[in-house]
Amino acid sequence: MKLSIQVNKLAKAHEFLHGLSLVRKKSRERRRVLNLIQERIELYNKERRELLEEHSVKDGDGKAVIENENYKIEDYQALHEDLLEFEKEMPLVIEGIQYQETLKVLQSVFEELEDERYEGEESEVYDYLYDQLENQNKQGDDE
């Protein structure tokens, strides 16, 4: 069993899961997932900042030039390509024996929420996460 979340969905997934009203074991297991999401967001932001610095114009001391709190970028196309490649490498994948119970509990939470009404972004995030859990688990059953 595993759960894979693309980097561009991490913040919304965190927000959605954080907003769920859960108790006891379900809340504890959700907290484990929230902590993993938060760690990945922090790693992503750190490495993204490094990429921005790498592609920025440098001053006389070789330091990145920052204007209006933004890096002054030397080659936007190269930065864009590197960011796309970087984001493909950064999904959060939760798997392994230590997370089996966490993922089972999370799947049961999503099954219980199936009759809840969600709209807009909440609906998209719920569908995305539930689909990821279902698809990954079907693949695992097929292997």
Q: Report if residue 57 sits inside a domain.
A: no
Q: Report if residue 75 sits inside a domain.
A: no
Q: Report if residue 86 sits inside a domain.
A: no
Q: Phi/psi at 12 (nearest 5 deg)? A: -70, -40
- For residue 92, list its beta bridge partners: 5
Q: What is the mean pLDDT of the chain?
A: 87
End-to-end CA distance of the chain: 11
Domain range for 125 is 2-52+92-142
Q: Report if residue 62 sits inside a domain.
A: no
Q: What are the b/e assignments for 2-23, b being 16+ CB within 10 Å?
A: bbebebebbebbbebbeeeeee
Q: How far apart are CA 41 and CA 116, in angstroms?
A: 28
Report the domain count for the chain: 1
pLDDT in tens, 78-124: 999 998 888 888 889 888 888 889 989 998 888 888 888 888 888 89
pLDDT band at 139 (very low <50, low <70, confident <90, very high): low
Q: Report if residue 8 sits inside a domain.
A: yes
